[in-house]
Amino acid sequence: MNSIQHVAIIMDGNGRWAEQRGMPRWKGHEAGARAVRRTVEAACRRDIPVLTLFAFSSENWKRPEHEVRILFRLFQKYLAEELDELQENGIRLSAFGRRDRFSTEVVGALERAETATRHCTRLHLRLGLDYGARYEIVEAARTLALQAVRGKTSPAEIDEALFSGMLSSRDVPDPDLVIRTAGEQRLSNFLLWQAAYAELHFSPTLWPDFGESDLQNALDDYHARTRKFGALPCAARVPA
Ligand code: FPP
Ligand 1 touching residue 189 (CB < 6 A): no
pLDDT score for 170: 97
What's the whole-model pTM score?
0.95
CATH code: domain of residue 120: 3.40.1180.10
As a whole number of angstroms, the distance between CA 38 and CA 97 comes to: 24
Whether residue 148 is contained in a domain is answered as no
Q: Domain span at residue 207? A: 6-132+173-223
Residue nearest to atom 7 of ligand 1 (CA): 55
Q: Are 133 and 192 in contact (CB under 8 A)?
A: yes
Kindly report the three-state secondary structure assignment for every residue of 137-200: HHHHHHHHHHHHHCCCCCHHHCCHHHHHCCCCCCCCCCCCEEEECCCCCCCCCCCCCCCCCCEE
pLDDT by residue (tens digit) across 58-111? 999 999 999 999 999 999 999 999 999 999 999 999 999 999 999 999 999 999
Instruction: Name the residues annotated as catalytic.
Output: 12, 60
Closest atom of ligand 1 to CA, residue 184: 22
Whether residue 144 is contained in a domain is answered as no
- Ligand 1 centre to CA of 215 (Å) is 17
Residues in the chain: 240
Closest atom of ligand 1 to CA, residue 35: 10
Residue nearest to atom 1 of ligand 1 (CA): 12
